Amino acid sequence: MKSFTTAINNGEHGFFVKNSVFLPFHCEIISIWIGKEMSLISTPDVITDMGDHSVLSIREGECYTNLVFRKWNDLSKELGHHKGHIILHAVEKGIDIFCKENHHYIRIGFHDHTKELSLEVVDNPFNL
């Protein structure tokens, strides 16, 4: 099991294929925000039902997590070219989910000309 802080601190990247995102870590997801850059006129879609397979599927391998966003066809078309991102509200696997200090926001960004994803832990997802 690989933690997200270790993966991000080591400069690891994820990748995507159409509507499928592969992340080089494991985590406990509280919610997922996906959409355009947040502003007063643009709000993201918020996914909180991780068991709803019509919107999201989650698969874990030995050293990765795969998120499949069924509502979207091609994430790079919708979120690439600095149009948006995915925010995971998460805690490390095995850590106390009820302790607020363990909650983190992971920003997943789409590069313009590659299938590579940028990953960073952010303090305030409303100030990006």
Query: 58 lies in a domain?
Result: yes
Q: pTM of the prediction?
A: 0.85
User: For residue 107, what pLDDT band results from cuts at 50, 70 and 90?
Assistant: very high
Query: 104 lies in a domain?
Result: yes
Pairing of strands 20-23, 14-17: antiparallel
Contacts of 118 (CB under 8 A, 6+ apart): 13, 107, 108, 109, 110, 111
Q: What is the pLDDT of residues 85-99, one digit of tens each?
A: 899 999 999 999 999
Q: What is the mean pLDDT of the chain?
A: 85
Contacts of 39 (CB under 8 A, 6+ apart): none
Domain count, the chain: 1
Query: 67 lies in a domain?
Result: yes
Query: 128 lies in a domain?
Result: no
Query: 30 lies in a domain?
Result: yes
pLDDT of residue 127: 64
Domain that holds residue 59: 4-122
Query: 127 lies in a domain?
Result: no
Mean pLDDT score, 4-18: 91
User: For residue 24, what pLDDT band results from cuts at 50, 70 and 90?
Assistant: very high
Query: 89 lies in a domain?
Result: yes
User: For residue 103, what pLDDT band results from cuts at 50, 70 and 90?
Assistant: very high
Query: 19 lies in a domain?
Result: yes
User: For residue 126, what pLDDT band results from cuts at 50, 70 and 90?
Assistant: low
